Amino acid sequence: MSLAAITPPSHGVVIDLAYAGADNFTGKPVYARAACYLHADAERALRRAVTLAAVHGLRLKIFDAFRPSEAQWVLWNHTPDPEFLADPRRGSPHSRGVAIDVTLIDGGGRELDMGTSFDAFTPLSHHGNLALSVEAQRNRALLLGLMTAADWDFYGNEWWHYQLFGSRRYPLLGDSVLPEGMMAA
């Protein structure tokens, strides 16, 4: 199975893979090589979302996409919290190439206020949380609307996480499916 490479020039997105650096909840890089991939079905849905966001003068910023199964184990071993992380024994939609973690950015490249940061493992990260500012609620609703109109399903506990409907029908994939791996050798 091949995955489609997602790049800023080819897809009109900003890519800032959180797990390629130390600025993530583990405090260290998980990926040895920063690369962004999606299954072809998810890549088509991403293109639709990019087009819909552009109508509003916005772009998508990607924090994570395909996550090799090996990386899911690293995250789980650090923080085994099933409210925010998929147990790697069951598999994550990320490890199937059909999930993406995103936010919206404006024309100046600034992230819209979503009320919490990416990977804030707190109830404030849940969709529909009314303890947030009206602006953050509005921005989350806009992201939710754009993504669902582009055929993405949402995960209720994470405003940033979207996956294809029926994600479990796609196989789990490891680092070896990539032409050049993301994980350390």
* 72 in Cβ contact with 130 (< 8 Å): no
State the Cα angle at 33 between 29 and 34, rounded to 5°: 85
Q: Which of 70, 83, 135, 158 is catalytic?
A: 158
The helix/strand/coil state of 151 is: coil
Q: Is the dihedral of CA 175, 86, 172, 35 positive or negative?
A: negative
Residue 180 designated active-site: no
Taking the C-alpha atoms of residue 101 and residue 86, their distance in angstroms, rounded to an integer, is 14
Question: Alpha-carbon distance 126 to 37, whole Å?
Answer: 26
- Catalytic residue positions? 158
